[in-house]
A and B are shown apart, each in its own frame.
Chain A
Amino acid sequence: EAQVTQNPRYLITVTGKKLTVTCSQNMNHEYMSWYRQDPGLGLRQIYYSMNVEVTDKGDVPEGYKVSRKEKRNFPLILESPSPNQTSLYFCASSDTQTSGITDTQYFGPGTRLTVL
């Protein structure tokens, strides 16, 4: 089954304790990205990756890191989480064309993070 998986699905942590949210896709997609979703603000892009070893900042990259060592995996790292990073996080992947991203973004099920 074609899918994007994220782990963990729910996480409660404390300020300053490093954490990693994993994301994996089995569709051989080149493009992967991370979003956070907050009430009234919609999804905002944190980081994206066009391919292995290629990552770029999105709209809200502060406080986050990513890596793309393999095509299928795109982990999101919070080195020192703070309460303002409490949010719902989505990983997504898609194919790319020469003109850019194709129309279908496949999203993971989401990770609900609470930072106390």
Chain B
Amino acid sequence: RKEVEQDPGPFNVPEGATVAFNCTYSNSASQSFFWYRQDCRKEPKLLMSVYSSGNEDGRFTAQLNRASQYISLLIRDSKLSDSATYLCVVYDWGNKLVFGAGTILRVKS
């Protein structure tokens, strides 16, 4: 079983749609959780951290469920510019960041 698993997609959605991605992790001792965004052939960039209480940044909402060991990312009112690969990242003990393989989102007009 992979340490961090994501549905690879692609998720094809129309502009204005709401889309949600889930990510599961295997290590119950994981400390911190993040979503990164990666555009084609570019470097990943931090989208948002994920807190136990859930957090929101504009159209983006991240949730953490420690009991079930998954995190989610909700994107409302999708824009064409949201098209990218979304990487789920988990910080384990030992200064190790574990990346999921990513979920591809394609927003179409």
Give the interface of A toward B (CB within 8 A): 31, 33, 35, 40-45, 48, 50, 56, 58-59, 88, 90, 96, 99-101, 103-105, 107-110
Contacts and interface: CB of A to CB of B under 8 A. Distances in A.
Contacts of B42: 109-110
Contacts of B95: 31, 48, 50, 56, 96, 100-101
Contact of B102 (A42, A96, A105): A42
Given A48-B95, A104-B46, A107-B45, A42 B101 contact: yes
Contacts of A99: 31
Interface of B: 4, 8, 31-32, 34, 36, 41-46, 49, 87, 91, 93, 95-97, 99-102
Nearest to A110: B43
A103 B36 CA distance: 11
Contact of A105 (B31, B96, B97, B101): B97
Given A90-B43, A101-B91, 12 more contacts: A40-B8, A41-B101, A42-B102, A43-B44, A43-B87, A45-B96, A48-B95, A100-B95, A101-B97, A103-B46, A109-B42, A110-B42
Contact of A103 (B34, B99, B100): B34
Contacts of A107: 43-45
B27 to A, nearest CB: 13
Contacts of A31: 95
12 contacts: A42-B4, A42-B99, A42-B102, A43-B99, A44-B99, A45-B96, A48-B95, A56-B95, A100-B91, A100-B95, A105-B44, A107-B43
